[in-house]
Amino acid sequence: MTIRTRFAPSPTGNLHLGSIRTALYSWLYTRNRGGEFVLRIEDTDQERSTKEATQNIMESMEWLGLDYDAGPFYQAERLDKYRQAAEQLIEEGSAYRCYCSKERLTELRDKQLANKEKPKYDGCCRDKNLPARADQPFVIRFRNDLEGSVSFEDQVLGPLSFQNSELDDLVIIRSDLFPTYNFCVVVDDLSMKITHVIRGADHINNTPRQINIFRAFKAEPPIYAHVPLILGKDGKLLSKRHGAVSVLQYRDDGYLPEALLNCLVRLGWSHGNQEIFSRDEIIKLFDIKDINKAAASFDPEKLLWLNRHYIKTLDSKVIADRLKPFMQELKIDYQTSGPTLEELVVGLRERAETLREMAIKSRYFYENFEQYEDDAKKHLTPEIIPFVEAFKQSLEKLDAWTDEALHQAIEEVAKQFGLKLGKIAQPIRVAVTGSTVSPPLNTTLRLIGKQNTLKRISAVLLYLAKT
């Protein structure tokens, strides 16, 4: 039997960390077992579904490299299937038409809540066998067993059992003829031959209802695995309405997909003490049985650490390539002059947490700056003039503009003036970068280039003369 899993998001908002992680687990499971991964867009909510959200979902998956073997299927395009299936259930006595008004139902609900009862449909139309009428709106409800229980073996949580008396007769077709979630899921999982349903733990309570519908169709339900939810820093669920950030926001903030993937997979799943996983490794090692039962809080600091790790260790060509959009966005011209992007990456990779930060920090390699940063100015005092001039002369004579030659030049000037390296390096750093922070001075000078270095040193001498 080939394994088939699916990711079935509803396009009612941007895809966030929680959703993409269940997609990831689902995807990993099929990739590990050589199965098929299906994408299904659950857009039966006409009110809230948007094209933009669908676009956002696909783009997020593409960015993280979660490719699918079938789909995307859109439920809104399969409405006939659901209607037919519902009719079939009515004929077989597993569903019925209900003409109860929304007003009556809200009233019922309020009353039950006031009585501290669990709100449920009272079965008013359950046994009336009402026919379809064109002049009056009705819904179709599933006829749930009143007694007995539903049990299943969850792959993450173990054996689970629910009393049928806790379930009520849920609406499967709305009065506008659109199907509802719990019904579409079953019809689709059945027709798409889904073998394993890996989804968020917020669906646990839906599972017994869905299993009953499967049974009504005389079909075997798939195997279920409910993965624990992701909580925010405050311990509350990460959701569209609460602190959830779009997956693409991480891309736009300069995170690498490798880092986010690694971070996400490790949130609720583990393989001994290992922290760093390549994509291939995760696929090879992933198993549902290693998923943790408890909900986890997402820690942005750890993501940052992983991002730094991948910025430092991924091929510099790859990083350079990923850096381009950020350079363009910041309008830094890296093509006409200055170091190549790859040289830049090698110089900055150990001091940037994100690609965006790297781009921001690269500015002085490509552009001359207008002024010195405020806290940098204190290094520019008249005392430095002699050795800055000496250094300038020594640079002018320098043929080889390399790290080694530059390092030697700096050291020689320091020796000549009997100063420690730090004493002269910092003022020069300020002179050429405008700030107190940069890669090692020799590397910084090398990347800025001879011409611009000398220009900026002349500029600092002018500045010093004026003060």
C-beta of 434 vs 439, nearer to RNA: 439
Task: State which of residues 441, 447, 460, 464 lies at the interface with RNA (CB under 7 A).
Answer: 441
Pairing of strands 196-200, 223-227: parallel
Amino acid in the structure at residue 384: I
Give the footprint of RNA on residues 56-115 (CB under 7 A). Answer: 100-102, 105, 109, 113
Query: In 3D, which of 352, 245, 226, 342 has the Cα closest to residue 300?
Result: 245
Per CB under 7 A, does 408 bind RNA?
no
Q: Choose, by CB under 7 A, the member of 79, 157, 390, 459 that binds RNA.
A: 157
Site for RNA in 345-384 (CB under 7 A): 350-351
Binding range to RNA, per CB under 7 A, among 31-39, 157-165, 215-223, 388-396:
157-165
Instruction: Say what angle helices 450-466 and 385-397 make with each other, to 10 degrees.
Output: 160
Q: Residue 175 interacts with RNA (CB under 7 A)? A: yes
Amino acid identity at 222 = P
Give the chain's radius of gyration (CA, Å): 32
CA dist 88 and 56 (Å) reads 36
**Binding region for RNA (CB under 7 A) out of 7-15, 27-35, 333-341, 392-400:** 7-15
Q: Which residue, chain included where needed, has tokens 């204190």? A: 378
Of 70 and 331, nearer to RNA (C-beta) is 70
> Would you tell me how many other CB atoms lie within 10 Å of the CB of residue 11?
24
**Which CB atom, from 83 or from 302, has the smaller least distance to RNA?**
302
Q: From the CB of 420, what's the least distance to RNA, in Å?
A: 6
What 3-state DSSP class applies to 255?
A: coil
Site string (264-303) toward RNA, x via CB under 7 A: --xxxxx-xx-x--------------x-xxxxxx-x-xx-
Separation between Cα atoms, residue 173 and residue 186, nearest integer Å: 13
Task: Please name the residues in contact with 459: beta carbons below 8 A apart, sequence gap of 6 or more.
Answer: 431
Q: Is 9 in the site for RNA (CB under 7 A)?
A: yes
Shortest distance (Å) from residue 34 CB to RNA: 24
* Strand 158-163 with 171-173, pairing: unpaired
CB of residue 462 vs RNA: minimum separation in angstroms? 23
Q: Which residues from 212-251 bind RNA, rule CB under 7 A?
A: 228-229, 231, 235-237, 239
**Interface pick for RNA out of 33, 83, 126, 174 (rule CB under 7 A):** 174
Stretch that binds RNA, among 86-94, 172-180, 187-195, 337-345 (CB under 7 A): 172-180
Contacts of residue 340, defined as CB under 8 A and 6 or more positions apart, other chains included, come to 320, 334
Give me the amino acid identity at 334. Y
**Is the backbone of residue 93 left (phi > 0), alpha (psi -120 to 50) or beta?**
left
Does the bond joining 137 to the residue before it have cis omega, within 30 degrees of 0? no
Subset of residues 176 to 215 that bind RNA, contact rule: CB under 7 A: 176, 178, 180-182, 201-206
Total residues at the site for RNA (CB under 7 A)?
89
In whole angstroms, how close is the CB of 32 to RNA at the nearest point? 17
Distance of CA 222 to the CA centre of its chain: 27
Check: CB of residue 417 under 8 Å from CB of residue 387: yes
Q: How far is the CB of 93 from RNA (least distance, A)?
A: 21
Binding segment toward RNA, per CB under 7 A, in 128-136, 247-255, 335-343, 437-445:
437-445
Using the rule CB under 7 A, is 312 a contact of RNA?
Answer: yes
Beta bridge partners of 223: 196
CA distance 419 to 417: 5
Residue 385 touches RNA, criterion: CB under 7 A: no
Closest of 15, 336, 29 to residue 198, by C-alpha: 29
User: Closest approach of Cβ 258 to RNA, in Å?
Assistant: 15
Shortest CB 1 distance to RNA, Å: 25
Report d(CA 184, CA 290) in Å as an integer. 30
Q: What minimum distance in Å lies between the beta carbon of 201 and RNA? A: 6
**Hey, which residues between 120 and 139 contact RNA (CB under 7 A)?**
120-121, 137, 139
DSSP track, 289-329: GGB-SS-EE--HHHHHHHHHHHHHHS-HHHHHHHHHHHHHH
Give yes or no for residue 390 binding RNA (CB under 7 A): no
Q: How far apart are CA 83 and CA 99, in angstroms?
A: 17
Residue 160 binding RNA, by CB under 7 A: yes
Among 7, 8, 152, 288, binds RNA (CB under 7 A): 8
Residues designated as active site? 240
Which stretch in 4-12, 123-131, 314-322, 381-389 sits in contact with RNA by CB under 7 A? 4-12
Q: State which of residues 42, 188, 189, 258 lies at the interface with RNA (CB under 7 A).
A: 42
